[in-house]
Amino acid sequence: MVLNLKDVSITFNEGTLDEKKALQHTNLQLEQGDFVTVIGSNGAGKSTLMNVISGSLKPDIGSVIVDDKDVTMLKEFKRSQYIGRVFQDPMAGTAPTMTIEENLAMAYARNKTRTLKSGVTKKRKALFREYLETLHLGLENRLNAKVGMLSGGERQALSLLMATFTEPNILLLDEHTAALDPSRAELITNLTGEVVEKFNLTTLMVTHNMQQALDLGNRLIMMDKGQIILEVSGEEKQALTIEKLLAEFQRIRGEQMANDRAILG
């Protein structure tokens, strides 16, 4: 098992009027090569789930296990040896004042100890060029361009490449196409499918685009109010449509509301 989330809960601002149960007793297991799409309304806890896995948030209770190692207490920067991330904001995943090759060199050092040797060597340059070619954006001819000069779509494609080419154990994508125009978003979506397949990455992808959630991946989970309320995989997922998904959501919510009423009543 690549990822095992055991009974993870997080409450923000506990005991105040703003109390928010962002994750409630969440369990999730990912096998090698699983590609899980995550959907759910605003505030459902999707980003919180990603942050607990990456280590930028520590759970109140529960544990996070990556490749049989308990990493719950491991600092974010240490855990990122195992985890690649692409953020929603195209500005977030790259260093703007540094060049494309320098950014790639930093990503290249992810699962190594950083040394006092030159970061961009001839050999690495050739490698970077090769990887950039797979993006079909012509970035391989602009190795010395500052990343701040790139468009949002180009930056996001570069972020995706940087997060994946060192083959992390887990890839986390949090609405990484949401800030792009439709054609760029489609480009990044396609690239995502390609790299995940190429490196056989275990992936968790949050999206608000239901169609995208259905098209990509072998598993789908739906979250609401800090809980995973629906899990679909394999053939069942392939047979799924947006209508069915919405109907399912209504049904589960209805049941829960009825339950809540029963408890309160």
Contact positions vs Mg ion (CB under 5 A): 47
Determine if 43 is a binding residue for ligand ATP (CB under 6 A). yes
Query: Which strands make up the sheet holding 61-66, listed edge to edge?
Result: 20-30, 3-12, 61-66, 69-70
Q: Which is nearer to ligand ATP, 44 or 163 (CB)?
A: 44
Pick what 42 binds: other proteins, Mg ion, ligand ATP, none; C-beta below 5 to 8 Å, kind-dependent.
Answer: ligand ATP
> Tokens 């394999």 sit at which residue?
234
CA–CA gap between residue 171 and residue 203 (Å, rounded): 5
Q: Which is nearer to ligand ATP, 26 or 192 (CB)?
A: 26
Strand partners, 69: 66
| The pairing of beta strand 69-70 with beta strand 61-66 | antiparallel
Name 238's Cβ contacts closer than 8 Å, sequence gap at least 6: none
Q: Which is nearer to ligand ATP, 154 or 224 (CB)?
A: 224
Determine if 199 is a binding residue for ligand ATP (CB under 6 A). no
CA–CA gap between residue 244 and residue 241 (Å, rounded): 5
Determine if 47 is a binding residue for ligand ATP (CB under 6 A). yes
Q: Which is nearer to other proteins, 2 or 213 (CB)?
A: 2
CA–CA gap between residue 117 and residue 124 (Å, rounded): 13
Determine if 170 is a binding residue for ligand ATP (CB under 6 A). no
Of 23-42, binders to ligand ATP (CB under 6 A) are 40, 42
Determine which residue in the list 12, 81, 167, 218 makes contact with ligand ATP, applying CB under 6 A. Answer: 12
